[in-house]
Amino acid sequence: MKVISGRVRVGKRTKDLVRRLHPGEVAVISHRDLDRVAAQALSRIPVRAVLNGQPSVSGRYPASGTDLLLEQGIAVVDGLGADVLDLLRDGEAITLDEEGRVFRKNQLLGKGRWVTKDLLEEDRRRHQARFQEEFTSFLQNTLAYARDEKDFLLRDIPFPPSRVPLAGRPCLVVVRGLDYREDLQILAPFIRYEKPILLAVDGGADALLEAGYRPDIVVGDMDSVSDEALQKTRQIIVHAYPDGRAPGWKRIEELGLSAEKVAMPGTSEDLGLLYAYQMGARLLVLVGSHSSFVDFMEKDRPGMASTLITRLKVGHLLVDAKGVHQLYRAPGPGRSLWVAVVVAALVPLALLAGASPLARGFLTPLYFKIRFWLGL
């Protein structure tokens, strides 16, 4: 291991910290079982190293965020203890030595361990029994809550009327989950051609803005969406607890925005899907979804009852596009000449489609299929 020096940026919540980090800085976090979504955000900056007060793998589930950081060549030292976050301030210079010790000038602040792929595999083997126990507990919790929540979720929910015309329209539901950027990019032809209603779940609104789209509807707790995104959307629905409490409502009031409140169990992702479904959307396309054991453990949720029921209810309209970018790769430089020829061929197709209604009906679908295949 080599000595690393740099200026730190400190944050107890990784998703908040990444908004303040700059390339080449050292991220100081307290994130047990670092998830891949957080790791992707850190690697995109990219940071020089990650100092984690918590263990990278605790055994609760097969967390793989640290694996991703190592694959990107980002050094990780974990197990430093929560005190490190209290001792450091943004912008301070630190040195990390070969033994995993963190120094500010000559002052020793803490000692952790350099994480390697071999250490991660050893941790997972050691914690295998605990992982099986966690999975069993998760499954039992899911089934128990499903019995309690099914009556509410399966009937029509008293939603506010939609300010956005959803009936008969396709709806793209965007969650800022794993690989959301890549999946949104591959769905660009669908968005351009079908013009779906864009429904964002919390930070999914900022994901849409980053991709060049304006969200039509934002639903959620309002804890991870920017003011800009809220101010640009056409409709806001605040997710409240079943008892009516809605911590996110205060923020909406402070911004002077208009919104509706919906109290229901489950996740905001469930709320978004059920809302679009009940408002008459003809197709639901979901990006960045949370639908597996690992997804829910990363969000520190002990079960997924509401999501299971929601999927059963809307499944006949649902296309889960999570990971769709892995099914398709844009042509590489070696095919650029061939692609140029095909693109040139699209021009007369487009002109012919515009000149004749009959030709338009036949050629327009073909035109967009070719564009989708080429990633144009």
User: Within 10 A of 129 (CB to CB), how many other CB atoms are there?
Assistant: 9
The verdict on 308 and 340 lying in the same domain is no
Is the pLDDT score of 357 beyond 60? no
Residues 6+ apart with CB under 8 A from 52: 29, 30, 31, 34, 76, 77, 78, 79, 80, 112
The verdict on 242 and 362 lying in the same domain is no
Rounded to whole angstroms, the Cα distance separating 185 from 14 reads 24
The verdict on 12 and 54 lying in the same domain is yes
Between helix 128-154 and helix 117-126 the angle, nearest 10°, is 70
Per-residue pLDDT tens digits for 261-281: 999 888 899 999 999 999 999
Domain end point (choices 109, 125, 141): 125
The number of folded domains in the chain is 3
Integer CA distances (angstroms), 31 to 50, 128, 249, 288, in order: 11, 20, 27, 21
**Burial track 7-32 (b if 16+ CB lie within 10 A, e otherwise):** ebbbbeebbebbeebeeebbbbbbbb
Range of the domain at 313: 159-326
pLDDT score, position 124 = 79
Is the pLDDT score of 368 beyond 80? no
Domain assignment of residue 136, yes or no? no
Quick one: 347 exposed, middle or buried, by C-beta within 10 A (0-12, 13-18, 19+)? Answer: exposed
Domain end point (choices 125, 140, 170): 125
Domain assignment of residue 121, yes or no? yes
The verdict on 206 and 295 lying in the same domain is yes
Per-residue pLDDT tens digits for 40-70: 889 989 999 999 998 888 877 777 889 999 9
CB 75 within 8 A of CB 50: yes
Per-residue pLDDT tens digits for 122-150: 887 887 777 778 778 777 877 777 777 77
